[in-house]
A and B are shown apart, each in its own frame.
Chain A
Amino acid sequence: MQSRDIAPHEILLPVKPAFIAFTLIAALLVNLLPWSGWLLAIKPDFVALAVLYWCIQQPHKVGFTTAWLMGLIMDVADGSLLGQHALAYSVLAFAGIVLHRRVLMFTMKDQILHVIPLLLMNDLIVLVIRKLAGADFPAWSYFAGSLIAGALWPMLSYLFKLPQKPKPDPDHV
């Protein structure tokens, strides 16, 4: 492997649990915005994205419990079948925890290629559950949200890392 394919590692401050909670609640709020029309059809699942991000970045702090509870909240907020998001997010958390070393070795572009299939798998699990419960296939735009979520990954990584960036040392020249 050539060296240019390996992402440079910065040394970051430890993340505060309060910040993780804040980002998760913010993601939940964005999901709960009154989306409508075609925006609703292609809306990325921000909670899934945030859960996946923290499972990859901080697998010892955010794991199955967080993912499962966030899923339960999403189920109630969406009025969908209780447990469908909980199950999908748990599998997402599993994938994130198993792959976290691997994903972080890659550059941002290649990370996106890891994230999109994971989010599509998340959608697929929900789809299979609803199919089993007797629902019809909605439309292909159902998967569009995950592609957009993948495109948002670099921005999300940048924003979520901001509080961890060390402050410049005033004594350092």
Chain B
Amino acid sequence: MEYSPPPFFNRGPPTVVRLLLCFLLSAALLISDARYKYLDNIRQVVAILVYPLQRLAGTPGEILDRMGEFFVTEATLRTQNARLNEQNLQNSATLQKYNALQAENAHLRELLSMRQRFPENTIAAEVLYAGRDPFTRKIIIDQGEQRGIKAGQPVIDQIGIIGQVTRVYPWLAEVTLLTDPEQLVPVQNLRNGLRAVLGGTGNDGQLELKFIPLNADFQTNDELVTSGIDGVYPPGLPVASISNVERNAAYLFARITCKPLAGVASYGQVLVLNWQSKSPPPPAEEENPVPSKKQKGGG
């Protein structure tokens, strides 16, 4: 056991003072990160230091995966091969149609002298792990700034949208999933073209349409696609399907819950869309707008 030293040994400031110092330092970090987003440089530097550890921690899982792949039976491979062949055939039929349609579309757009959409080039990435922060819904993917990923780009899988890149490190990127409580996607009802805003609830596999009037025409099993009016997501990508509509006259808005179409909670390959909207910049705001109390959730 250790005993406290005689008072003439100087051991620095007392414990409470040290705690206070740490408290102030942390509070300064917290406030400047939450309010002003000044600290991206510190984050980047520490992230580079932590990166080898993160890869090292991921290694056992990777090795297990590889070993699993090694012991795949021939029968599994055969069935998979057959299935993929069939799928390929179907896809090629669709693709031929698509090519024809695209040519036709380009022609029509030219005729109408409409703005051509940018070709979307994509970056393939693999999901490394789920974000550990219990307050948000995020995943970490294995491509970053080095491959040209930028914050704000939409992320999709083979079915539809899963989220948006929110933070970029040199070799990693953080994707905020649709189910994150602060993530919003402008969507459109495929059946009737009604526009709405889709938000996460923080629960896996559950989304919510926000601020929909009680009489709006939204029905169960309607499919929602991106409307593209925000300039972040390209229009027409599948997002979710409505699973339940609850109209209660006691509330101002209908409670419409949806479930995401893409594998938001599953792991695998994703595509980051390197997409740029050609929509014109929004009109300048008026000089003296009506004073409104705008409350913004921090973070």
Contact = CB atoms under 8 A, between A and B. Distances in A.
A64 B18 contact: yes
B298 to A, nearest CB: 4
B56 interface: yes
Interface residues of B, number: 51
18 contacts: A32-B53, A32-B54, A34-B58, A34-B129, A35-B132, A40-B130, A43-B132, A64-B19, A68-B22, A77-B50, A80-B136, A81-B30, A86-B25, A86-B29, A94-B16, A134-B298, A135-B181, A138-B135
B267 A36 contact: yes
A83 B61 contact: no
Contact of B299 (A31, A40, A135, A142): A135
A67 B50 CA distance: 16
Interface in B30-50: 30, 33-34, 39, 42-43, 46-47, 49-50
B30 A82 contact: yes
B134 A138 contact: yes
Contact of B135 (A25, A32, A135): A135
Contact of B23 (A72, A90, A134): A90
A94 B15 contact: yes
A73 B134 CA distance: 17
A79 B299 contact: no
Interface residues of A, number: 51
B297 interface: yes
B128 interface: yes
Contacts of B150: none
Given A76-B43, A134-B297, A135-B181, A36 B57 contact: no
Contacts of B208: none
Interface in B117-175: 128-136, 138, 140, 167, 174
Nearest to B56: A29
Nearest to B4: A101
A83 B33 contact: yes
B19 A81 contact: no
Interface in A69-109: 71-73, 76-84, 86-87, 90-91, 93-94, 97-98, 101, 104
